[in-house]
Amino acid sequence: MAGIRPHSAVHQQHAFRNYYGDEREGVTCGSRRGLLKAGLAGVAGLSLPELLRCRAQAAETAGAGKGPKSVILVWMSGGPSQLETWDVKPLRPLQNRGPFGAISTKLPGVQICEHLPKQAALLDKFTLIRSVDARLSSHNPNRVFQTGHLGSNTADSKYPAIGSVVAKLHGPNHPSMPPYVAAVASPRKHLAFAGYLGKRFDPFIAEQATKLPIYDIDGNDTGKTTGANLFQLPEELSADRLGERRTLMRDLDRLRSGVDQAGSMLAMDAYLSQAVEMVLGGRAQKAFDLSREPAANRERYGKHLWFQQALLARRLVEAGVSFVTIGMNHSGGASWDTHGDNIPPYGGISKGMGKLLPLFDHAISTLVSDLDERGLLDDVLVIAMGEFGRTPMMGTQGSSDGRDHWPEVMSISLAGGGLRHGQVVGATEADGGTIKDRLVTPADIAATIYRYMDVPLDATYLDNQGRPHYIVQNNGQPIRELF
């Protein structure tokens, strides 16, 4: 097809290669001794009291924290095909429309992929945006869609994640919970970090604190789970002993507070109490402990990794986390980077997306239904998206049914947040390859999230050279159809 960009015969940049898979990133804790240090000086390697103090200051100056709003970002890493998800073209030739059929939905006249029947039945609770401009996007998560900034050629971009901005300017909905949590199979590969905002606003990595199933490269359940020992104190340290150490620290701080005219030392004592609460208190431990979920609801979600991540996300926002990213990617060897059934490692449309779509369908529909039944859906904005779309014509790179990267257009799906749903925003041309009307940019998506979370759209942050940057760039505006 004319206009499709050339691509090397051997795809050298599958999703997530060369992203330092062995490098420990973000919030980590290598031992129980390290955990003790984290518990006293800040959880998981951060100075948590200082973090809480900064967030309190940010909330006062930004006017944030006005309500218990939260966001769940379902990150479909690799780039899901718009033609096999939410922008089907059933009347087009096979090489364009793909091998899957289209089904009707709860919205009259709107069709989506046949492998999304559960979402189709709930589509009145969703908004589909079919005209998202993904140009300059790439597999690097700190560029474009997890940040709202346009990308560059710099692989180690420091643009802050939207979740990190929310963590700084909104904070958690409950003081004993982290504001930004991520549950993904490999954090560096699928997740944006705080970048210029500093590591204190990096996501709290859920795998350290909860038990999630581990799958092998073929997608089989190994019967093992993640370690999840973050909240366990060393055997030689009891809660009482930790309390004694905390009292000693408080006494020392009070001695110093005699010369403290601003009262910051007394305030720090309150933040230290919150830090210890995250280690010893029950709220965070209970939220991350999936075994506390009623058996019937655990069975309703199912045992697959994606299903358990969705359940965890619901528990976390319910407990007071403001922003949760779950990675529906790399379940075993799975990814939405579907270059072709004969091009490893992720396959193409039939063998790749054919397996992923039913899993995604169950996860997203169960999550939205569960939130709705609990009266939480109006307070939780659920967004499902990847980093770009796929080529309108199959057979790229010598594959039988693969689709290459296609940043010209992508589709995303939103639900909840008390916003206006039951609609389709934008449209593509007949082949699904270019935007026909109502272009939506990454900055528009970021602005939508910030407006929903009561984060000022004109807020700024400083880069390493002290230069200010707006959190919303490129004239991004909240998506008007949602408000």
Over the stretch 208-266, which tens digit does the pLDDT of each residue have?
A: 888 888 776 556 778 887 766 666 555 555 555 545 555 555 555 555 545 454 444 44
H-helix or E-strand spanning residue 341 = none
Instruction: Determine contact, residues 204/178, Cβ cutoff 8 Å.
Output: yes
For the record, the structure tokens of 353 come out as: 């997306």
User: What is the reported pLDDT for 225?
Assistant: 79
370: number of Cβ within 10 Å: 18
| pLDDT for 87 | 98
pLDDT digits (tens, 9 = 90+) for 267-324: 445 445 555 566 556 888 899 999 999 999 999 999 888 999 999 999 999 999 999 9
pLDDT of residue 459: 96
The one-letter code for the residue type at 428 is: T
Q: Dmax over Cα atoms in the chain, in whole Å?
A: 79
pLDDT score recorded for residue 212: 84
Please tell me the distance from the alpha carbon of residue 42 to that of residue 109, in angstroms, as a whole number: 53
- Residue with the larger pLDDT of the pair 179 and 267: 179
Question: Could you give the CA distance from residue 206 to residue 326 in angstroms, rounded to a whole number?
Answer: 10
Q: Is 375 exposed, middle or buried (0-12, 13-18, 19+ CB in 10 A)?
A: exposed
- 333 vs 157, which has greater pLDDT? 157
pLDDT of residue 37: 42
- CATH 1.50.10 applies to domain 69-232+282-482: no
Looking at mean pLDDT, say which of 129-133, 196-200, 471-475 comes out highest: 129-133
Q: What is the pLDDT of residues 409-448, one digit of tens each?
A: 999 999 999 999 999 999 999 999 999 999 999 999 999 9
- Give 180-221 pLDDT, tens digit per residue: 999 986 656 778 899 899 888 999 988 888 888 877 655 677
pLDDT of residue 137: 85
Which amino acid, 467?
R
Sequence-separated (6 or more) residues with CB below 8 Å from residue 474: 150, 441, 443
Q: Are strands 435-437 and 180-183 parallel, antiparallel or unpaired?
A: unpaired
Lowest mean pLDDT among 21-25, 49-53, 350-354: 21-25
Question: Mean of the per-residue pLDDT values for the chain?
Answer: 80
pLDDT at 422: 98
Which is more confident, 7 or 385?
385
Average pLDDT over residues 372-380: 97
Q: Which DSSP string do the residues of 78-142 spell out, in sequence order?
A: T---GGGTTS--TTS-HHHH-S--EEE-SSTT-EEETT-HHHHHTGGGEEEEEEE--TT--S-TT
Interacting residues of 157 by C-beta distance below 8 A, sequence separation 6+: 140, 142, 143, 147, 149, 151, 195
Q: From CA 307, how far away is CA 215, in angstroms rounded?
A: 13
Question: Do residues 442 and 149 touch, judged by C-beta distance below 8 A?
Answer: yes
Q: How confident is the model at residue 359 (pLDDT cuts 50, 70, 90)?
A: very high
Contacts of 359 (CB under 8 A, 6+ apart): 304, 306, 307, 328, 331
Whether the link from the prior residue into 345 is cis, omega within 30° of 0, is yes
Q: For residue 172, how many other CB atoms are within 10 A of its CB?
A: 24
Among the residue ranges 177-186, 357-366, 375-384, 440-449, the one predicted with the least confidence is 177-186
Q: Is the pLDDT of residue 9 over 60?
A: no
In the structure, what pLDDT confidence band is assigned to residue 346 with cuts at 50, 70 and 90? Answer: confident
* 86-125 pLDDT per residue, tens: 999 999 999 999 999 999 999 999 999 999 999 999 999 9
Pairing of strands 405-406, 389-390: antiparallel
Alpha-carbon span 144 to 328, nearest angstrom: 18
Domain segments of the chain as ranges: 69-232+282-482
